[in-house]
Amino acid sequence: MPEAPLSRIVIVGGGSAGWMTAAALARLVAAGLAITLVESDEIGTIGVGEATIPPLVDFNAALGIDENAFVAATQGTFKLGIEFRDWGHPGNRYVHPFGNYGRQTQGINFHQIWLRQRLLGVAETDPGPFDLYAISIAAAARGRFTKPAGDPEGVLQGLAYAYHFDAGLYAEFLRMRAEAQGVRRVEGKVVRVEQSSDTGFLSAVVLEGGRRIEGDLFIDCSGFRALLIGETLGVPYRSWRHWLPCDRAVAVPSAAVAPPVPYTRSTADKAGWRWRIPLQHRVGNGHVYSSAHLEDEAAARALLDRLDGAPLAEPRTLRFTAGRREKLWEKNCIAIGLSAGFIEPLESTSIHLIQSGIVRLMASFPDRNFAAVEIAEYNRWLIDEYENVRDFIVLHYHASTRSDSDFWNDCRAMDIPDSLAARLDLWRGKGRVFRGFNALFTEESWTAVLLGQGVMPADSDPLVAMLPVDETTRFLTHMRNIIAQTAEAMPRHEEYIARHCAAAGTTS
């Protein structure tokens, strides 16, 4: 068919999903594309996802966003990883860092060298905790932060970072940028969606008062309601509740009583887990739990009783079902954000999955012919990513040895996805872990959680046996020392913020 370029894109819904999409598409306005975002101030946004992962650094940079201005505008802080407390068992603690552990030697993955030393069981050559070998963990433990710079072979090159921020302020920040580039915002509630009688494609949305907004491509950012992809086009939602039983979250902000730490904290509880996310002006707190194991009132009380500072609002309860749409792109409609799927924020992936949908849309940008092969490839790619993230989250629950509640006993005993079972089998033999095609989480991420929760392989890579023990012992000692020294020399996190990106009206 001859090329038939799009002329009108309609985004239904604002929040992080809508305005990230609008900001990414805004540069197309100059090429003649009309982009309209419809949202209503009367419809609230979820706003749970205030913690992110490193790919967002690249997303913002691609939009030309000044990082310091963004962090200041969103009351943001920096994030070097996630601290997990009580996940493997009560009293267990580990960190999933951003960036690398140690460095490869003769092409052998670093964790294999550490494993060989640990499995020898000799005190003189014991490598100590795995956490000692990541610069991101060393810096986080000391409350320090800086960006990777300098010697490309230096220890700091193993550091990666992301952000904590106020999701509502991020949406406002992106809205200003998008509107300045020509994206049109329309205030109103969608009350009807019109479709072509011939093809079933969406043709217009109708607002209260009768205003019609026509489009060629529609992007559903309407949240859990999934107004376009679900209610109108009828794409089913595939539940993952049998693997991810948590279906509630209660959230509350609290006063900051200490300088913000450069990491998110996740603490396992009797029927789920609690998050703590430090911002410049407050702390975000939440409790994710299974309603089959804990009542809403008890969940809110458990959260409020453990706040560091005074609550700044009433707790807000959210209901959800983990899962995804069977298709994320159907006809001329693409679901991005909560309308596409939801995986609890244990590894801060909500905003990343929005980003993935946007990036893949730009890579598969359609014309009005909407080629079926391109739509199928988009769906395959995004579904793979959702399922890879799902497996990584399920791992945290399944790998726990907690037996202090029915919730944890159920998680440990549950059947897991075949894809995760295969990964675990591979790991338990010789500590093998492979990232795989289109996988978000790296080998280091899988290793951090597996070792952090006590899943030790029976053996290590046979190639490590080629390295003399005294040589690897010296190498590991050097890595520990240089990582500790480098972290000690970094500025404190709050000092870095005060110097570069303090929000108006705050002091660090």
Q: What are the catalytic residues? A: 79
Q: Is 79 annotated as a binding residue?
A: yes
Could you give the CA distance from residue 129 to residue 76 in angstroms, rounded to a whole number?
Answer: 31
- Start-to-end CA span in the chain (Å): 59
Reading the block at residue 484, the tokens are: 């500790």
Q: Is 28 annotated as a binding residue?
A: no
Kind and range of the H or E run holding 283: strand 283-289
Could you give the CA distance from residue 428 to residue 449 in angstroms, rounded to a whole number?
Answer: 13
Q: Is 121 annotated as a binding residue?
A: no
Reading the block at residue 420, the tokens are: 């995760």
Spatial CB neighbours of 303, under 8 Å, sequence gap ≥ 6: 250, 252, 274, 285, 286, 287, 315
Q: Is 377 annotated as a binding residue?
A: no
Q: How far is CA 52 from CA 98, 166, 167, 263, 385, in A?
A: 11, 11, 10, 10, 16
Pairing state between β 81-85 and 264-269 = parallel
Could you give the CA distance from residue 169 to residue 421 in angstroms, rounded to a whole number?
Answer: 40
Q: Is 331 annotated as a binding residue?
A: no
Phi, psi (deg, nearest 5) at residue 406: -60, -35
CA 487, 488, 493, 497 torsion-angle sign? negative
Nearest to 334 by CA among 422, 240, 233: 233
Q: Is 14 annotated as a binding residue?
A: yes
- The answer to whether residues 339 and 223 touch, using CB atoms and an 8 Å cutoff, is yes
Pairing state between β 283-289 and 272-278 = antiparallel
Q: Is 338 annotated as a binding residue?
A: yes
3-state secondary structure of 473: helix
Q: Establish how many alpha carbons lie within 13 A of residue 445's alpha carbon, considering only the half-sphere containing its beta carbon.
A: 22
Tell me the angle at which helices 418-430 and 443-452 cross, rounded to the nearest 10 degrees.
Answer: 80
The three-point CA angle 359-368-338 to 5° equals 40
**Residue 435's CB: how many other CB atoms inside 10 A?**
14
Ranges of H-type helices in 99-166: 110-120, 135-141
Reading the block at residue 473, the tokens are: 């012992």
Phi, psi (deg, nearest 5) at residue 204: -165, 155
Which residues belong to the annotated binding site for FAD? 14-17, 190, 338, 351
Which residues belong to the annotated binding site for L-tryptophan? 347
Which residues belong to the annotated binding site for 7-chloro-L-tryptophan? 79
